[in-house]
Structure 1
Amino acid sequence: MLKIRLKRQGKRNDPFYRIILTEGSKKNATAAIADLGTWYPTKNKKSLDKAEINAWAAKGANISSAVKELMKS
């Protein structure tokens, strides 16, 4: 089962998140299958590949609630 989720990176008090496609049954430290975007909450910037996210969702990938909220805004 594939999952589209956020992966936290950056420094303490200065995080940024990568939106990745990963195997859902594995632990969070697994390698990303695809990189689908980034989100910088402190700078209020986001870069999503919505077409690619929707394509993977159509193939059966589950989208996390946080990524769904980012796609709405």
Structure 2
Amino acid sequence: MVKLRLKRYGRKKQPCYRIVVMDSRNKRDGKAIEELGFYNPITNETRIDISKILQRLAQGAQATRTVQNILNKAQIVAQENN
């Protein structure tokens, strides 16, 4: 199953995450199919490629709970329903 999920990088105690598309059976930091965005929980900075995310969701990819919350904050899911 293909999922939208977070891939961790950054230093110890200073995490940053990339929003990626990957197979659910791969490791968290394993090889991703495609990178769709960036999330920094410390500064609350988010950069998202909206068109690619909507395309992947339309193809049947499922977002994890955390990624779904990020998309809700950015009001992307509301765009998908319209």
TM-score (ref. length: structure 1):
0.89
Question: Aligned-pair distance for 1:56?
Answer: 0.4
Higher relative contact order (CA 8 A, sep 6+): 1
RMSD of aligned C-alpha atoms? 1.2
Q: Percent identity, aligned pairs only? A: 33
Q: Which has the higher helix share?
A: 2
> How many residues get paired?
73
Provide the secondary structure at the position in 2 that maps to 1:7.
strand
Does 2:40 correspond to 1:34?
no
Unaligned runs of 5+ in 2: 74-82
TM-score (ref. length: structure 2):
0.80
Q: Which has the higher strand share?
A: 1
Kept in 1: contact 2:6–2:28 (CA 8 A):
no
Distance, in Å, in 2 between the alignment partners of 1:7 and 1:27 is: 9
Kept in 1: contact 2:8–2:28 (CA 8 A):
no
- Any runs of at least 4 consecutive aligned residues in structure 1 with deviations exceeding 6 A, and if so which? none
